[in-house]
Amino acid sequence: MELFFEPNDQIAWDSLISVKNKHDNNSKNKSFLASSTGKGIADIDSNVLCAAISGKNALTSYYYMLNTNKRWRYTTPRRDLPILSTQMPSSSVSRVLIIGAGPTGLLMGCLMRDQGMPVTIIEKREEITRTRCVKLLGEVLSSDELTGGIHLFSENQVEERQKAIDSIQSTLFEKLTSWLELCTPLQTIQKSLQEYFVSSGGQIAIGAQYDISKNLDLLGHYPDTLIIDCTGYHSVLRNRIQPDNLNLRLIEYVLICTFTFDERYECNELCKYYKNKNTRKFRVIPAIDDTYKTGKRQTLVTCLITIDEPIFRAMPKRDLITYSYLKNHQRDIYDDLTIFLNNMSSGQLNKIHFDSMEFIALPLQVYRAKKITHKVVNQNLNQHWVLLGDAAMGGPYFQSISMGYEAAIYLAYIVQQMQNDMEQMMMKYESYMEKLWLALQIRSKDIQRNKQILQYLCANDRNAILEKIKVY
């Protein structure tokens, strides 16, 4: 036995694998220490706390004398302690597997390929069919616009975030910049990222056989791998990391409706409510930006109409929903949509061409998985799992893709920096995502309040407006 005295607390509490538990009367001190480290600690007698860390060839035990405030440790060869002799798997990875080729998975793939990592993306859907238009928020490519002046992130995190943005390759950066400026169909974004990914040497495997939820064993073929779950709101790995993993959620049922308008269409937060003037029950909320198709002055508009759950449940499959279907089966929705379209086009309904209509359930709240990283403890596998994009968290008001991109840019950077220490990397990522979630929460509350004020304004409800306006 070797005996050392520790001059200061150098204990890697996060690596503790074993504690010896014995009843203690001195519970006040015990609970203080346990909470200050956040890890399990037990005593060997009423005055001493003990914990053990298993290293490669030895087991090191740490003791803490409560009444003298002294710590010491001793090391014994591992052969004396067979129960604790689990071999620590390596903490480095040699490749990346991304599950899900949605917007976040594809961007993550591109970023990792640009760092020279071998990357495979697997995707269950054969085709990209998303017609909706999205516009990225400025936050994605700037560390100045984080939370409207509220300092949630540490200086170190802001610095890392800026370095992460600076490390994006110029071609990819230009693509992202163009999606900040203009509302772009999601399909276009995904196709463009997919092309970039493949041309930079990334591998993509598409087809029903890659549906990981039906074939989790597939992951067994990927030792020494960082596995990034980008499978969206119904994440495949989330419940395996920690069952019942979502915080409270709230669903909004909506009819999403996209159409082209043969004129320039401009809108902002205020006028999108004004365009609902004279609607009776249903408000049609358009995306607040415009898109031009090349060559022709034409705008692609995406609108959401909130509906009640019973209407949603009673709806047929999406292929059947058309403007004339609404006319015959959902007259109230049809009438309010027509009023909105008239307001929007100044009566030029002939310039509106419907593209698609779909009833969907939207997660409305800022939801967040409580835990988003996981290490597979299996000697042969050495996998590190990370949730990203909607799988990790999401936000209302068209912010989710931006949030997913902010997270992907940061994650790609810290993976590159800490390729040999995935455990540290995952801790960093958890801490960063906690802040990102708070930022999203603050932003959403702001948007929600403004939205309500504008809705009351449209309804000319002065009392309600006054109640919502806060004087600081």
Q: Which residues bind ligand FAD (CB under 6 A)?
A: 99-105, 122-125, 132, 134, 210-213, 230-232, 236, 256, 287, 360, 362, 389-390, 394, 398-402, 404
Quick one: which of 150, 146, 176 has its CA closest to 162?
Answer: 146
User: Quick check: 303 and 360 in contact, CB under 8 A?
Assistant: no
Closest distance between ligand FAD and the C-beta of residue 49, in Å? 43
Q: Which is nearer to ligand FAD, 364 or 415 (CB)?
A: 364
Cβ atoms of 72 and 32 within 8 Å: the answer is no
CB of 211 to ligand FAD, least distance (A): 4
Residue located via tokens 């089966």: 329
The single-letter code of the amino acid at 7 is: P
Is there a contact between 274 and 284 (Cβ–Cβ < 8 Å)? no
| Polymer length of the chain | 472
CB of 50 to ligand FAD, least distance (A): 44
Q: Least CB distance from residue 183 to ligand FAD, whole Å?
A: 8
> Quick check: 349 and 342 in contact, CB under 8 A?
yes
Residue (336 or 390) nearer to ligand FAD, CB = 390
Q: Compute the distance between CA of residue 451 and CA of residue 125 in angstroms, rounded to an integer.
A: 35
CA dist 410 and 400 (Å) reads: 16
Q: The tokens of 131 are what?
A: 């017609």
Residues 228/388, Cβ–Cβ less than 8 Å: yes
Task: State both tokens at 242.
Answer: 């920690």
Nearer to ligand FAD, 89 or 286 (CB): 286
Question: Which CB sits closer to ligand FAD, 24 or 123?
Answer: 123
- In this structure, is the dihedral angle defined by the CA atoms of residues 324, 328, 329 and 333, taken in order, positive or negative? positive
Structural contact between residues 309 and 253, judged by C-beta atoms closer than 8 angstroms: yes
CB 283 within 8 A of CB 276: yes
Cβ 61 to ligand FAD, closest distance in Å?
Answer: 44
At residue 304, what is the residue type?
Answer: L
Task: Name the nearest CA neighbour of 137 among 382, 397, 356.
Answer: 397
Q: Which is nearer to ligand FAD, 360 or 464 (CB)?
A: 360
* 3-class DSSP state of 311: helix
Phi and psi at 42, nearest 5°, equal -135, 165
Tokens of 165: 């943005």
Q: Which C-beta is closer to ligand FAD: that of 2 or that of 308?
A: 308
Q: Which residue is nearest to ligand FAD (CB)?
A: 102
The H or E element containing residue 226 is strand 225-229
Least distance in Å: CB of 213 to ligand FAD? 4
Give me the least distance between CB of 143 and ligand FAD, in Å please.
19
Query: Would you say 103 or 286 has its CB closer to ligand FAD?
Result: 103
Q: Which is nearer to ligand FAD, 89 or 395 (CB)?
A: 395
Nearer to ligand FAD, 61 or 194 (CB): 194
Q: What is the residue whose two structure tokens read 């306006």?
A: 469
- Residues 226 and 139: beta-carbon distance below 8 Å: no
Closer to ligand FAD by Cβ: residue 22 or 234: 234
Q: In Å, how far from its chain's centre is CA 262?
A: 36
State in angstroms the smallest separation of the CB of 2 from ligand FAD.
50
Cα atoms in the Cβ-side hemisphere of radius 13 Å centred on 61: 18
Give the number of other CB atoms < 10 A from CB of residue 461: 13
CB of 179 to ligand FAD, least distance (A): 10
Closest distance between ligand FAD and the C-beta of residue 134, in Å? 4
By C-beta, is 59 or 172 nearer to ligand FAD?
172
Query: Closest approach of Cβ 350 to ligand FAD, in Å?
Result: 26
